[in-house]
Amino acid sequence: MLKSLKKQNKKELDKRLNLLEALWGLTEILDDSFQEIYDYVLEKLLDLTRSKYAFWGHINESKDTITIYSWSEEAMKNRQIGDKPITYSIADAGIWADSVRKKKTIIINEYEKYDKHGLPEGPVAIKRLLSVPIFSHNRITAIAVVANKLAKYTQEDAEYVKVFVTSAQTIIERKKTEEALKESEEKYRLMIESVENYAIFALDPEGHIVSWSPEAERIKGYREEEIIGKHFSCFYTEEERRNGKPEKELELAAAKGKIEDEGWRVRKDGSYFWANIIITALRDEDGKLVGFVKVVRDLTEKKRMEEMLEEERRLFIGGPVVVFKWIAGENSIPVLYVSSNVKDQFGYKPEDFISGKINYADIVHPDDIERINKEAKLYREKGTPYFEQDYRILTADGEYRWVHDFTVIERDLEGKIKHYHGYVMDITERKRMEKELKTAYEKVRKTLEQEREFKLRIAHYFFNPIAIAKGYLSLVLEEGYSEEKIKRAIDAINRIEKVVHNVTKRGKIVE
């Protein structure tokens, strides 16, 4: 009796070792094609259950069809199966699909007593059948079917099939996720490369550069291979580095979530450019700081234009700035004078305003007029000498254009307002670029968040249990058979089974 018990225990240990070897084999084919993985799983299903026929298929989201990617050679021969994959309706499928319809394992050891109708058709002589549904996040995602084992199928066979195919399904899903991530990364790369006039790159939490873009290379002069890994403080002036400005900006971004600044920055060749920068902190789902994304726009030309505009304001000259002189009023804004370049900028003749044919308030966008009147009133009451506003005006050809209005208030000796001198400049292009920047930033932020989430979930939850099992098995294979080593191998597979159990039963990837 003791000899029989030992023989039984040895047989049980051998079966568990076979399962562990099959699981280990999965880790060796991670880089193989999907079809090669499907065929490997099928081969091991036949071996683990000592069956003659087998197939493995995936259930669609609506659970109404099954796509079978791999059949055993005997099953294909008897059922006259052609090219793979093949899709069947679960409603029309044979008794093997009851595991999906009833959401439980089906074991049939007297197949001749059951109704044989249903797909696939063909004269195969089934004697025994085991059909196991595979769950992921409380949903059936696959089905594994084996048939014609010489002995009766047992619940133990079902558990082995479930553990092995669930692990294989996890690898398949991970592989699909990785390929989707690669596709997403490629789209992200193409999107970043297509953004013009904005240098977009990522920093680690300490400020070292971890990604670069072609536009960043154009604006700053550094190639990707020579800038990756360097601290972003190399873009700042020597004085700003001494004052710790780069580090302070990261501290503020981490505290506030996002900061914006403008100032002189340094290119690789030592030349300076005026930059608008936005630094946004990136955090994981637990709120831990994982890095920053920085968007830099070269505003050297804009800075130059603003300096020119300031000079024009001082000298009352024309050019792109249209000069208005308005009579003091509450809402009507009558025009006393307008520079001749109003024709070039907005299409109107100066006399149209001066004669009163066109009232300036009438060309201000209806959605802006109330706001700018309230703002102007507030500035008047505060006694400020000048103020600035952005709003839209209607051009002579019927197009609304954004303008920046720098208004100087002229008062008499008693402080009473006599006139307003306005310097109006078309800023439509700037507004468009600001909108593009906001859109580009949102796309980058969402892509980085998705990338981070994919990598964290894959690395932490799906690969560790198999790696542990692989290590224990290596000890068994290297040092030879003993009950203590086999027990360690069993403990390892039990951990894997527990993880799989939690995935299938609770929908959580935990031990």
Pair of tokens at residue 47: 């071996």
Query: What pLDDT, on a 0 to 100 scale, did the predictor assign at position 309?
Result: 65
Query: What pLDDT, on a 0 to 100 scale, did the predictor assign at position 118?
Result: 59
Distance CA 225, CA 222 (A): 8
Q: pLDDT (tens digit, 9 = 90+) per residue, 412-460?
A: 877 788 888 888 888 888 888 888 888 888 888 887 776 676 455 545 5
Distance CA 115, CA 98 (A): 12
Please give, one letter per residue, the 3-state secondary structure of 5-59.
Answer: HHHHHHHHHHHHHHHHHHHHHHHHCCCCCHHHHHHHHHHHHHHHHCCCEEEEEEE
pLDDT at 402 over 90: yes
195-298 and 304-431: identical CATH topology: yes
Query: What pLDDT, on a 0 to 100 scale, did the predictor assign at position 70?
Result: 62
Query: What pLDDT, on a 0 to 100 scale, did the predictor assign at position 71?
Result: 63
Query: What pLDDT, on a 0 to 100 scale, did the predictor assign at position 82?
Result: 46
List Cα–Cα distances, 93 to 85, 115, 122, 165, 404, in angstroms: 16, 12, 13, 21, 70
Distance CA 188, CA 225 (A): 19
- Give percent helix, percent strand, percent coil of the chain, each to the nearest 5: 50, 25, 25
CATH number (3.30.450.20, 3.20.20.70, 2.40.110.10, 3.40.50.300) of 304-431 reads: 3.30.450.20
Tell me how far the alpha carbon of residue 402 is from its chain's centroid. Answer: 34
Residue pointed to by tokens 């601290």 = 231
Distance CA 279, CA 281 (A): 7
pLDDT, mean of residues 280-303: 86
Distance CA 198, CA 115 (A): 68
Distance CA 178, CA 458 (A): 8
Residue type, 322: V
CATH number (3.20.20.70, 1.20.1090.10, 3.30.450.20, 3.40.50.1860) of 195-298 reads: 3.30.450.20
Query: What pLDDT, on a 0 to 100 scale, did the predictor assign at position 366?
Result: 93
pLDDT greater at residue 337 or residue 244: 244
Distance CA 224, CA 71 (A): 48
Pair of tokens at residue 192: 């970043």
Residue type, 381: E
Q: pLDDT (tens digit, 9 = 90+) per residue, 85-106?
A: 788 888 888 888 888 888 899 8
Distance CA 55, CA 42 (A): 6
Predicted confidence band at 502 (pLDDT cuts at 50, 70, 90)?
Answer: low
Tell me how far the alpha carbon of residue 21 is from its chain's centroid. Answer: 36
Predicted confidence band at 400 (pLDDT cuts at 50, 70, 90)?
Answer: very high
Burial label, 163 (beta-carbon count in 10 A; 0-12, 13-18, 19+): buried
Give the residue among 449, 389, 379 at the shortest CA–CA distance from 409: 379
Distance CA 222, CA 228 (A): 9
pLDDT at 81 over 50: no
H-state helical runs in 195-299: 214-220, 224-227, 238-242, 245-256
Percent of the chain with pLDDT over 70: 74
Q: Which of 248-257, 275-284, 469-478 has the lowest mean pLDDT?
A: 469-478
**Is-contact 329 322, C-beta < 8 A?**
no
Predicted confidence band at 204 (pLDDT cuts at 50, 70, 90)?
Answer: very high
Burial label, 419 (beta-carbon count in 10 A; 0-12, 13-18, 19+): middle
Q: pLDDT (tens digit, 9 = 90+) per residue, 447-470?
A: 777 667 645 554 555 566 566 666
Query: What pLDDT, on a 0 to 100 scale, did the predictor assign at position 506?
Result: 59
Would you list the domain boundaries of the chain?
1-30+467-511, 34-165, 195-298, 304-431
- Give the CATH H-level superfamily of domain 34-165: GAF domain (3.30.450.40)
Query: What pLDDT, on a 0 to 100 scale, did the predictor assign at position 235?
Result: 94
Q: pLDDT (tens digit, 9 = 90+) per residue, 30-71?
A: 777 877 888 888 888 888 888 888 887 888 877 788 888 666
pLDDT at 312 over 80: no
Q: What is the value of pTM for the model shown?
A: 0.37
Distance CA 22, CA 24 (A): 5
Tell me how far the alpha carbon of residue 6 is from its chain's centroid. Answer: 55
Query: What pLDDT, on a 0 to 100 scale, did the predictor assign at position 123?
Result: 54
Q: What is the CA radius of gyration of the chain?
A: 36
Predicted confidence band at 211 (pLDDT cuts at 50, 70, 90)?
Answer: confident
**Is-contact 19 493, C-beta < 8 A?**
yes
For residue 85, say if its preceding peptide bond is cis, omega within 30 degrees of 0: yes
Pair of tokens at residue 112: 């001749």
pLDDT at 203 over 70: yes
Mean pLDDT, rounded, of the chain: 79
pLDDT at 273 over 80: yes
Percent of the chain with pLDDT over 90: 18
What are 374's strand-pairing partners? none
**Is-contact 163 16, C-beta < 8 A?**
no
First and final CA of the chain: distance in angstroms?
A: 37
**Is-contact 58 69, C-beta < 8 A?**
yes
